[in-house]
Amino acid sequence: MKKQKRLGILTSGGDCPGLNTVIRAVLNHATVTYDWQVVGIPYATQGLQERKSVSLNYHGLDLHGIDPLMCFGGTILGTINKGDTIAHIDEIAAGYHDLELDALIGIGGDGSLSILHQLQNQGNWQFIAIPKTIDNDVALTEKVVGFDTAVNTIVDAINRLTFTAASHDRVMIIEVMGRSAGHLALEAGISGGADVILIPEIPYSIQQIYRHLSELRTRYLRKFAIIVVAEGAKLAEDSRKYPQCEKPSCGMGQYIADEIKEYSNQEQETEIRVSVLGHIQRGGIPSASDRLIASAFGKAAVDLVVAGESGLMVSWQNGRVVPVPLEAVLAKSPCSVEPSSFLVETARALGIYIGKQ
Ligand code: F6P
């Protein structure tokens, strides 16, 4: 009898909504279409290091056949976004063979995919990557799993905070994640109707923010304002109070609040509140769009595995899923917001202050 092939799947790096939807797609397609056995590797490379795997069964998760994987946030396999993988690279790479895997699918962001790529080379694995991250900074793909849900979560928060800001005539500063990239702040800021968007790719000046807020008040009679700030936003060199202080320990949102307060003291008191959205942005059930991307990526990754391909990442291009060499992706990641992009232009055209021109 022909030996059933064994496909491993793991989630690596920070979690995001849609990971379980990818696992579901891979599991269903590999078992139903190709009769492969699918095993989950818990806690990413840690599972390989400890030679751990769990059997995943098609529709075997619930007595009634309900499949919660489609809509659960997080990852049922667990994940890690730190640890000294390089110190244990031989051991982890060998884990693939000790677990008798014929192929491995890894779902990760640019950092974790780079580690998995090194392990693939070291261990001579058959490996296919699926991009996920709320930061949206993986190159050579128009979409990644998790970003859309995070943008929707932020827009929901902006909607709520707008009502309370307006009721009290306050400036509301909303700090969002994104590491060194401003995609989350930019897309959520435009969609949520922000007045100011601050991203790492375009330095801002406190004076200009203050002038923009004053103009909103005096010329357009707006008594409140919404500022969306990326956690990695950068103050322009010439307006930095402390030249070394690129990343204030109080957080970017609080830092800007303090700076605006200090600057505005000369004229009139501005009431400011800061909301740091934090890990709320990583939680929640995946949006329809993330479920669709996750399903299409999972299906395409399994097809590549069965075709014997390796070292590729599935990417979204012009409404299709296209394989691209993982090495080429990593050479261009993390990818930032292009300061002259049409979305930045759109923000400016709508009267949003988005940093120094
Ligand atoms: O990369 C995803 C991300 O959520 C970033 O936006 C954020 O800076 C970081 O992870 C937070 O990491 P942790 O979960 O370790 O606090």
pLDDT tens digits, one per residue of 284-307: 999 999 999 999 999 999 999 999
Asked whether 319 and 342 are in contact (CB, 8 A), the reply is no
Q: How far is CA 176 from the centre of its chain?
A: 11
- How many A from CA of 177 to the centre of ligand 1? 7
Check pLDDT > 80 for residue 243.
Answer: no
What percentage of the chain has pLDDT greater than the value 70? 94
Mutate to test the pocket of ligand 1, among 179, 187, 280, 282 (most ligand atoms within 8 A of CB): 179
Output 245 or 193, whichever has higher pLDDT.
Answer: 193
Q: With 50 as the cut, is the pLDDT of residue 244 above it? A: no
Q: With 70 as the cut, is the pLDDT of residue 59 above it?
A: no
Using the structure block, give the residue that is written with the tokens 């397609």: 29
pLDDT at 324 over 60: yes
Q: Which atom of ligand 1 is nearest to the CA of 281?
A: 4
Q: Is the pLDDT of residue 63 over 80?
A: no
Q: How confident is the model at residue 82 (pLDDT cuts 50, 70, 90)?
A: confident
Catalytic residue among 135, 137, 195, 303: 135
pLDDT band at 262 (very low <50, low <70, confident <90, very high): confident
Q: Which of 151, 282, 333 should be mutated for ligand 1, with most atoms under 8 A from CB?
A: 282
Catalytic, 135? Answer: yes
**pLDDT for the residue 270:** 78
Out of 10-24, 86-100, 239-253, 283-297, least confident range? 239-253
Q: Which atom of ligand 1 is nearest to the CA of 178?
A: 6
Tell me: pLDDT of 38 over 70.
Answer: yes
pLDDT band at 263 (very low <50, low <70, confident <90, very high): confident
87 pLDDT above the threshold of 50: yes
| CA pseudo-torsion sign 274, 276, 281, 285 | negative
**Of residues 243 and 140, which shows the higher confidence score?**
140
Q: How confident is the model at residue 237, as a pLDDT?
A: 65
pLDDT computed for residue 2 by the predictor: 79
DSSP 280: G
Q: Which residues, at least 6 apart from 105, have a Cβ–Cβ distance to it below 8 Å?
A: 7, 8, 9, 10, 26, 127, 128, 129, 130, 301, 302, 305
**249 has pLDDT over 60:** yes
Is the pTM here over 0.85, yes or no?
A: yes
| Residue closest by Cα to atom 10 of ligand 1 | 14
* Ligand 1 atom closest to the CA of 135, numbered from 1: 6
pLDDT of residue 241: 59
Token output for 309: 């391909």
166: its two tokens: 């307006």
- pLDDT score at 67: 80
In the block, which residue shows the tokens 């059930």? 285
Distance from Cα 227 to the centre of ligand 1, integer Å: 21
Please provide the average confidence, as pLDDT, over all residues in the chain: 93
